[in-house]
Structure 1
């Protein structure tokens, strides 16, 4: 065929040079197509050869073949001007290697060869109240004007990417860039996930989880009562805010349920075919009533619409409908006035007096001027689902209102009692908002929480200037303790929860003679010890932890530092001690209400209780119950009561009213600030040191090798002098550094580092709070260990060493992939030349003694383009060369500028006294 084409060259008047011929990739309503154009992008060229067997594949092959010559002039018969890719997609493979593929602006298009990309649907709030949302379809974290070539190929500007297949609806993907009100979020996500595949969802800091199939709740909609008093019922199904009409209209088989209490989005399967079961159940009930009334015809069924004749309708409403409230969602009861049934809005009338832990007294409901005891109303509603008024009207009360009354008011003898913690919710139910006597005094406590800015507390007695938000936290804790209430300080990691707690301890122990207990994970004990000595050295601190602990040694202490494991093991001793205050650091350690640790902590005897945690609730509401069972034991009652009134309605039904009520109930007692919120109040970079204690196996290995080198080096110096002993000194420094940070290297993985355990917990905390993390280490073995731990924790990450070739692609993945949370690399590899501003949290896993190298690593994140405060944590193993060199670094700042300047450096300025300090006990 090529020979025939060549014969035509020269016979045509239109002769163009090769560079003047382009393949333009364009789009119309049908989709993507290719056409041949000149350099201006305007003219199309017809084909000259008239062979019947010529097809579009041969067109492009010939064009590619002939382009190797100097001239180009062809024309074809029977080939369309526009070659659509939906039926000729193989053309892209031919065009992939062309230098002349252009977009509609005549810009050269390039193919990006990489793994399939995942599109992210990002939802953002566009107003301060969060009531308006905007969605954007992102590729590699960026918004583009997307043009889809098919369900797995997308054109962005001048680049073509392969993406994970988004399904046959790809032509409508542009509709995902939209604006809508917050109440439509579930509907929007549900449609998006039903019509498009492989989309990732990004909404605030919400987790996306895949759930099992959800049971849809049957729904009876009372549409109308006609002129002949016939009742029109529509049977449907609902799921959270999704109606049956919506689910069926869009043929939904997968729904998205947004849980604002647990900050998660559940993706679950739905089965609309179960509507038949709901209709069948109602029809069976109507058939039974029809027989009882001896009616020949009582109802008419049309799909999911049921029309009831008046006599059957009245019997159904008065005898059955209101009994179905628990199982069915009933909508439209306000239309039942013709049948002497109507909805009412009661008024709450209270007369409460203070008791020990709650208020009690008389509580009544005023319904259209008639007063009823609240417990009579609850009993009648439970039995009949309505209240009979004096004129014979059956009064319907909103089911949510009744459920709220059940949550708030408990019966004690003939009186009603209400928890102190529920007073704000009770006030919301009282129309005139007039609170008298003891109830008003109790409410003043809550009002005081709104006036902390003018709260006249004592200045924090610590050697530190608290930042504005830290001073507020101190005032908040002071106010709670003053009113004998517990609270959880839930600031983001790195914002100084420990300092705020030390300020409170210092204030309390300026007057109290009782000790305070601080329980924490074992890895934090020495950090607390150092922080207290630094900020409040007047406090008498004792550590109650370890094999040689003695309960008698804590006598006279102001603050006792211990671990959760020690509390669990020694609770028989500790429960008999009266503490001024118990503080739980990393309080998520008591998230399981049935664990032995949680049960032990609950037995501690203290006047005041405080919890510290960056992630107070990690998985479910049971963790919230456990936390407040410790902080304020009377807030929720028993676990069954909590599950009935809160956990089940929220987790099973995503009940928005219950969610808002629970938020309002706990709001005064949880104080949380994120780094982004207080960014203006923070410096650009905050550096902290985490001190960790070796486990027994690691300590034994370290001491054995330290003593070996201690003897060896002293003998070498004595025999040859310090100058000729450098190789032994460097060998000792290097091996002890390895054992301090990565003992697995020197023990065939028989000894594990405490750093691994602490690092993975810190990373989990940071990831849960929406941060991206860099981890720098000096040892390849440490990278392997860290990546293994991240895999077990299900945290997406990447790593880089000196042997990594394509570093820039890894950098781009970390910078742009929202799901990629951690970048682990060697200090030398990541020290220079990389821009990693997506991260704002950095861990120096095993620090290099040259401080400049550490600073350069931190500056990968803390540089131009970073819009957040950067937090850097240096991990130091206590009792090892790491701690000693850190102290030497502080005392001899110049020493380590000269100590080790490169991998092949020599020891230059270490004295015998320095070596004695480093290798000695």
Structure 2
């Protein structure tokens, strides 16, 4: 045997002579491999010839080296194991230079010099099909390509480089398949877990990174056996994916498809221990087993629980219905033997219009039996189920019941529904019996879909409205014409004031009662100048200051005033009738219990409009306050709003309620971002600059953090978080000061490293011809920064809340080329200023509410800016400032889902947040 092998090897070494050697690309089940062949296609093992070029010689040497280092002895007959290019990527680089690289038909292979992308396209094969087809496409259109390795594919005799899809590339052909629509999330999850860098093309859905998801415990009713034993499985689920699937494929990143928003979210998932859920169910069973004095009531096998009949009935009637909130219950249709089944009620309503409400009879039809809606709600509240005439306990989806509670209120024996809930009612009711007036209300909502064609013309003003401003004007006009309030919530710098002036100009094309515009005092003269600029024919009066004359209101068309003036003069103002009340920077009425808000609510006007780039800054209570002004009947009392919306959303993170609230307010809030509508606006580049504390600063910061950590935890433990607010606020404020401006707490003995970093960056920016804005939260920081600017002879201005003539400072900064730096507090600089002369911005210390920072940056990044704006946020590493960044991100997601407004605030901090902030 060994002699034979020796002979083969010797024979192999002699080789053969050929004029040309070709390198043929072939494929088998293991992938792409390389053969050396002659011009007839005959496979060659050893080649001796001087006819081939240098590159060919390099390839042959590499092939010989691979074969010589094989673990197997090579014989001439077999030519050894195939050389797979995925195992030897260096060969691909050599083949790129070869003129003799050919396909299986001996035709030359070309190379593409551009990197191409792979797309997973998913489509329905035909209408109404319950299946989906998936294809992996090269460059979005080519199907029949083959993988050479994880970074290279071939199509139509041409090789393309792609982004690395991972070591599982050999299995990528399995992506081309057909699967049930119900398995879409499973398919996407597995595909994206095994392959990298593949784009997704599914209808018009977008792909985003979502927040981490926790698995929900699940109880699956398997069956009831012949002896009436109940077979029950405990599992875990996230969206449509169960625990068995996630654990089998070792999934830690899942695809969640939101068909409502047409989005695919890729979310990290926390594979919780299923044992905890099993243990909880077993604990409940053990309790009832003792109560029934059963010796052996159940059998546990992994996550399968088999209960004998007596215990099973006790568990189902006493416990299962109460577990619906925490557990996802599946298979309740199998409980018919126990006279329990899930039902889907049919809602039937006969509603008529009544001023601000719809009124009438509303019934639920369950399994052919009819109940008044209030009987169902009462019974469900008591027992969590409805008893039918045959004794069956009917289970109704808890979310469905909660939605009914939010929408339908009782008035005597009738059901009352808010006009603003009409879109939600439409979704729920199957048999709709509407009066003629009711149909008109429906048409009003439908009108929002065709505002571009709303028959109103822009009145004569000295401005040409951009396309989005024209739409905003039509939207405002539609609201006013239908006596409905709304909030224009465009980004800062998109011309909300101009759109409002266009609306006022239309109103006063004919004689009308005066309109009142309330605003922060810093905007009074800005409004006056804007009106004179765009429509000098409007009769404008300012009702503000010590010499204000109430008689001038009656002689005016437009009255400009401040929130403080409304609060002080409400007894007089509430007796007047206004054509329109506009609230500019309407976040000033965000606190429903403040005297200013209470005063504004008393103003007498059928038409109400709010202007604000940040309609919600801190919590949902501010949304309630805004709509209490705009449309007082929309949400009922504050207690009802908290019960039906604020608590489920802010406490329980209930996304169904978020979606319902979004639908309810959607027609009455119009928000456009600069990124969407100002295509010609220069870029805004935001960067975070982390700064290390010096030793002295770190020492004092850590001492105070530990002090407050112990103090606050003891306070919360003894008095609860509600009564510990004053200590929490004190701690957070002092730690922010120590992180950014330790000079405040140390009588100047400890200095912040930020000062050095900031002045270095300012000097460099000034030398390069830039103008700079600096925003901070502390007056002492302004003093420190100005002191440093003076030392370096840098001409600057500063502004705080106490500054009176702000406009003259703004004009000086805008027009004086020598004035390079403008320093101000974040809140002062966040409203009503146009500072486009600056293109470099420093946020010296972060604020809880990121929107305030965005507003400040938008003083420069707005219409009129012709340069790229650079915004730098200075963050002291290892301090509360780093934690604020994280909380800003987490607490902004909810409001983005509602109205795309970032938010975070001290008021909405939970005990978990406080633990995070004060920990190391």
Task: Sort the TM-score into its range (normalised by shorter chain).
Answer: 0.5 to 0.7
More deviation, 592-601/232-241? 592-601
For normalisation by structure 2, the TM-score amounts to 0.58
Partner-residue secondary structure (3-state), 1:268: strand
Change in CA separation of 1:531 and 1:371 when aligned onto 2, cut-off 3 Å: same
* Deviation (angstroms), 1:520: 10
Change in CA separation of 1:790 and 1:197 when aligned onto 2, cut-off 3 Å: farther
Which digits, 9 at most, give the CA deviation of each residue in 1:657-710, with x for residues without a partner?
6566445534543568999999xxxxxx998999xxx99999xx9xxxxxxxxx
- Aligned residue number for residue 896 of structure 2: none
Change in CA separation of 1:45 and 1:617 when aligned onto 2, cut-off 3 Å: farther
Distance in 2, Cα, partners of 1:652 & 1:120: 39
- Aligned residue number for residue 296 of structure 1: 295
1:45 is aligned to 2:48: no
Mapped contact 2:123–2:133 kept (Cα < 8 A): yes
Change in CA separation of 1:63 and 1:242 when aligned onto 2, cut-off 3 Å: closer
* Deviation (angstroms), 1:309: 2.4
More deviation, 197-206/83-92? 197-206
- Aligned residue number for residue 904 of structure 2: none
- Aligned residue number for residue 321 of structure 2: 322
Change in CA separation of 1:62 and 1:595 when aligned onto 2, cut-off 3 Å: farther
Change in CA separation of 1:458 and 1:262 when aligned onto 2, cut-off 3 Å: closer
Change in CA separation of 1:597 and 1:251 when aligned onto 2, cut-off 3 Å: farther
Which digits, 9 at most, give the CA deviation of each residue in 1:431-470, with x for residues without a partner?
4322359867766754776898998x66554469999998
- Aligned residue number for residue 538 of structure 1: 537
- Aligned residue number for residue 854 of structure 1: none
Distance in 2, Cα, partners of 1:198 & 1:568: 54
Change in CA separation of 1:253 and 1:541 when aligned onto 2, cut-off 3 Å: same
Mapped contact 2:813–2:822 kept (Cα < 8 A): no
Distance in 2, Cα, partners of 1:131 & 1:614: 44
Distance in 1, Cα, partners of 2:59 & 2:568: 86
Partner-residue secondary structure (3-state), 2:434: coil
Distance in 2, Cα, partners of 1:304 & 1:341: 23
Change in CA separation of 1:240 and 1:791 when aligned onto 2, cut-off 3 Å: farther
Distance in 2, Cα, partners of 1:363 & 1:87: 70
* Deviation (angstroms), 1:265: 5.1
* Deviation (angstroms), 1:84: 0.9
- Aligned residue number for residue 514 of structure 2: 514
Distance in 2, Cα, partners of 1:132 & 1:518: 57
Change in CA separation of 1:168 and 1:325 when aligned onto 2, cut-off 3 Å: same
- Aligned residue number for residue 911 of structure 2: none
- Aligned residue number for residue 18 of structure 2: 15
Partner-residue secondary structure (3-state), 1:485: coil
- Aligned residue number for residue 170 of structure 2: 171
1:211 is aligned to 2:284: no
Which digits, 9 at most, give the CA deviation of each residue in 1:10-39, with x for residues without a partner?
9977432xxx54544554321233333457
Distance in 1, Cα, partners of 2:523 & 2:137: 40
Mapped contact 1:219–1:238 kept (Cα < 8 A): yes
More deviation, 216-225/653-662? 653-662
Change in CA separation of 1:81 and 1:288 when aligned onto 2, cut-off 3 Å: closer
Which digits, 9 at most, give the CA deviation of each residue in 1:500-537, with x for residues without a partner?
65553233223423224386999999799669855x55
- Aligned residue number for residue 397 of structure 1: 396
1:91 is aligned to 2:91: yes
* Deviation (angstroms), 1:207: 6.9
Which digits, 9 at most, give the CA deviation of each residue in 1:642-663, with x for residues without a partner?
5764577679999786566445
Distance in 1, Cα, partners of 2:431 & 2:311: 42
* Deviation (angstroms), 1:237: 1.9
- Aligned residue number for residue 424 of structure 2: 425
Mapped contact 1:61–1:94 kept (Cα < 8 A): no
Q: 1:293-692 to 2 correspondence within 5 Å? A: 293-346=292-345, 348=347, 357-359=356-358, 365=364, 367=366, 372=371, 374-411=373-410, 417-426=416-425, 428-435=427-434, 445-446=444-445, 460-462=458-460, 477-488=476-487, 501-510=500-509, 511-517=511-517, 533=533, 538-540=537-539, 558-559=557-558, 572=567, 580-583=579-582, 605=603, 606-610=605-609, 628=627, 631-637=630-636, 645=644, 661-662=660-661, 664-669=663-668
Mapped contact 1:44–1:81 kept (Cα < 8 A): no
1:747 is aligned to 2:820: yes
Change in CA separation of 1:294 and 1:144 when aligned onto 2, cut-off 3 Å: same
Partner-residue secondary structure (3-state), 2:513: coil
Partner-residue secondary structure (3-state), 2:208: strand
* Deviation (angstroms), 1:581: 3.1
Mapped contact 2:589–2:597 kept (Cα < 8 A): no
Distance in 1, Cα, partners of 2:254 & 2:370: 44
Distance in 2, Cα, partners of 1:491 & 1:13: 79
* Deviation (angstroms), 1:370: 5.9
Distance in 2, Cα, partners of 1:257 & 1:160: 32
* Deviation (angstroms), 1:249: 4.9
- Aligned residue number for residue 29 of structure 2: 29
Distance in 2, Cα, partners of 1:257 & 1:131: 19
More deviation, 118-127/483-492? 118-127
Distance in 1, Cα, partners of 2:639 & 2:98: 69
Distance in 2, Cα, partners of 1:101 & 1:550: 92
- Aligned residue number for residue 811 of structure 1: none
Mapped contact 1:488–1:612 kept (Cα < 8 A): yes
Partner-residue secondary structure (3-state), 2:214: coil
* Deviation (angstroms), 1:747: 3.4
Change in CA separation of 1:639 and 1:234 when aligned onto 2, cut-off 3 Å: farther
Distance in 1, Cα, partners of 2:351 & 2:280: 45
Partner-residue secondary structure (3-state), 1:168: coil
Unaligned runs of 5+ in 1: 1-6, 51-55, 67-74, 679-684, 702-736, 766-772, 793-921
Mapped contact 1:502–1:532 kept (Cα < 8 A): no
Aligned residues: 700
* Deviation (angstroms), 1:159: 5.5
Mapped contact 1:421–1:665 kept (Cα < 8 A): yes
Change in CA separation of 1:489 and 1:750 when aligned onto 2, cut-off 3 Å: closer
More deviation, 320-329/289-298? 289-298
* Deviation (angstroms), 1:268: 3.1
- Aligned residue number for residue 690 of structure 2: none
Partner-residue secondary structure (3-state), 1:45: coil
* Deviation (angstroms), 1:631: 3.7
Distance in 2, Cα, partners of 1:247 & 1:568: 56
For normalisation by structure 1, the TM-score amounts to 0.58
Distance in 1, Cα, partners of 2:773 & 2:547: 19
* Deviation (angstroms), 1:305: 2.9
- Aligned residue number for residue 252 of structure 1: 251
Mapped contact 2:493–2:863 kept (Cα < 8 A): no
* Deviation (angstroms), 1:251: 3.7
Partner-residue secondary structure (3-state), 2:273: helix
Mapped contact 2:16–2:46 kept (Cα < 8 A): no
Distance in 1, Cα, partners of 2:129 & 2:625: 30
Partner-residue secondary structure (3-state), 1:87: coil
Partner-residue secondary structure (3-state), 2:294: coil
Distance in 2, Cα, partners of 1:646 & 1:533: 43
* Deviation (angstroms), 1:47: 0.7
Distance in 1, Cα, partners of 2:178 & 2:494: 34
- Aligned residue number for residue 686 of structure 2: none
Distance in 2, Cα, partners of 1:301 & 1:697: 66
Which digits, 9 at most, give the CA deviation of each residue in 1:586-616, with x for residues without a partner?
98x7898799999699769454234578998
- Aligned residue number for residue 283 of structure 2: 284
Distance in 1, Cα, partners of 2:264 & 2:617: 14
Which digits, 9 at most, give the CA deviation of each residue in 1:123-177, with x for residues without a partner?
899999999988787899997876544445666885654735x433233345557
Partner-residue secondary structure (3-state), 2:607: strand
Change in CA separation of 1:137 and 1:776 when aligned onto 2, cut-off 3 Å: farther
* Deviation (angstroms), 1:471: 8.0
- Aligned residue number for residue 190 of structure 1: 189
Mapped contact 1:262–1:617 kept (Cα < 8 A): no
Change in CA separation of 1:126 and 1:609 when aligned onto 2, cut-off 3 Å: farther
